[in-house]
Amino acid sequence: MTFVETHTGRNDLPTRDFSWMVDASAKRFRIHTQAYVGEDVYKAELERIFERTWTYVAHESEIPTPNEYVTSYIGDQPVIAVRDREGVVRVLINRCVHRGAALCREAKGKTRAFICPYHGWSYDTSGKLVGITDRNIAGGYDEDFDAPEGLYRVPKVDIYRGFIFANLDPDAGPLLDHLGRARDIIDLKLNMSPVGEIRLVSKPYSVRYKGNWKFQAENIVDQYHFLFVHSPFSKLQTKYGESTGDFGVHKAGKSHAERRNTRYHGDTYGCSQGHGLAFQPESDPENLKQGHFAEHFARLSEKYDEEMLCRIGGKCAAAIFPNLGMIHHQIRTWRPLGPDLTEVTVYPYELVGLDDELNAGMLRSQERFYGPSGYGMPDDVDIFSQNTEGLRGRAVEWLILERGIGSDVETENGDFRGLPASEACQRGLWRKWASAMKGIEQ
């Protein structure tokens, strides 16, 4: 059975053109409401985007030794990311080939074999079928039974600096081509470590919100919203400073203007691959010689020049199309569960080789803003729900994403560079979305 044969029969979705929902020109960029709320749009996204794009599924630090695994998703399809007994990283569809039961119900673990809870068929960690229970007993299988080879192996798996990506499209281009400029964000984040590595050791946490998955992809690189959606937090931070557990994150001035200037600097990018990137280098190298990380940056200065050190010591964030986010000291993923339901999972990470006290401080700052009882996550979830409620007003058809469009500059590789509060990031996502959602001519 081939991949194509198992992914057909979705009515007319493969031929329908949804790209008209992005109305874009030199000075105009509007998105139709149905691009966020349409059930048919959502089903087409699963097929045209999530089944044909490099998707982040796990980090190597989660499966450091043979036979370790984590469960994950490609769109709505459950997968297992596993390091087999030979040490090869594989991504397998989490479905028994017999009667379709999910094999793994745990988020992570270590095993020599995946055993189906329904009828006991077993598979080794490479996905090979190694056992059929009671094969020749009491109405079992004939000697010439055409047994399947094993679990479906996702045909494309690649790793960039520990980030494991998978692609269900066997004809997909190279991962590095898909990442493009997004590699800069990954590199800056990891190069904060003395040895250039991160590890996921804290238990991740998840939240579900009533809204479309693209709200999260847009929001994580949206500089414009912070002082409005997170206004109460910003005021508390201004008043109490480091006593809130800031640990060098979300620094703010004493006035609204100072807080705005703190956030509105650097560049944004809307990439041709659909990524949104935000870069905020440290403007004053002397600031790196102060605070919790002063000694750490002194050591890094022996490895990097001043310009690169300011980039590493500044802030940056990414929405890597279609499902991966990086901001501060965390990896974030989002999983579509329907046109109006999304699951977001946050994975705080440690910098390998960094002092334990500094890693602990970074984790505390994560808990303060992004944790289940933090200030930031509830704000964002609430605004996504408000967006969803507002979009019920279908009498207004279009949303406006034109902030900064006149100042965007197209680069030689097709990316658009924007000012810090531009919606260039969001426009990059939607250009890629429109390209992927074009119909097939009949």
The pLDDT-based confidence of 6 (bands split at 50, 70, 90) is: very low
CA distance 290 to 267: 25
Q: Are 57 and 166 in contact (CB under 8 A)?
A: yes
Give residue 243's pLDDT.
Answer: 67
Q: Is the pLDDT of residue 4 over 60?
A: no
Percent of the chain as helix, strand, coil, to the nearest 5: 30, 25, 45
Give residue 9's pLDDT.
Answer: 38
Chosen CATH of 176-436 out of 3.90.380.10, 3.40.50.2000, 2.60.40.10, 3.30.1330.60: 3.90.380.10
Positions of CATH 2.102.10.10 in the chain: 55-159
CA distance 350 to 330: 9
pLDDT tens digits, 131-148? 999 998 888 999 889 999
Where does 55-159 sit in CATH, by number? 2.102.10.10
Region 232-260 average pLDDT: 69
Region 36-54 average pLDDT: 97
* Cα atoms in the Cβ-side hemisphere of radius 13 Å centred on 391: 23
pLDDT tens digits, 351-397? 999 999 999 999 988 888 887 788 888 899 899 999 999 999 999 99
Positions of CATH 3.90.380.10 in the chain: 176-436
